[in-house]
């Protein structure tokens, strides 16, 4: 098995990257998704990530 990690600051960018990867791979075992939020001064910073496990 192998893994591929994606990390983007916008959920649409993550969606696009995952869809591109899925077009090339049909042997997906699982996808783990996570959202992290942090505060920097008055600004909220988001991090959207996914781990894809495939063969």
The reported pLDDT for the residue numbered 28 is 97
Please state, rounded to an integer, the average pLDDT across all residues of the chain: 96
- The Cα 15–Cα 23 span in angstroms is 12
CA dihedral 36→44→8→4, nearest 10 degrees, is -10
DSSP assignments along 1-55, one per residue? -EEEEEEESSHHHHHHHHHHHHHH---EEEEEEEEEEEEETTEEEEEEEEEEEE-
Indicate the number of domains in the chain: 1
The reported pLDDT for the residue numbered 31 is 98
Question: For the domain that residue 29 is a member of, what is the CATH number?
Answer: 3.30.1660
Q: Model-level pTM?
A: 0.84
Range of the domain at 38: 2-54
The 10s digit of each residue's pLDDT in 13-39 is 999 999 999 999 999 999 999 999 999
């Amino acid at each position: 098995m192998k893994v591929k990690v994606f990390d983007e600051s916008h959920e649409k960018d993550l969606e696009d990257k995952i869809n591109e990867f899925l077009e090339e791979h049909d042997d997906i075992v699982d996808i783990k998704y996570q959202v992290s939020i942090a505060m920097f001064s008055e600004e909220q910073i988001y991090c959207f990530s996914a781990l894809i496990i495939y063969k």
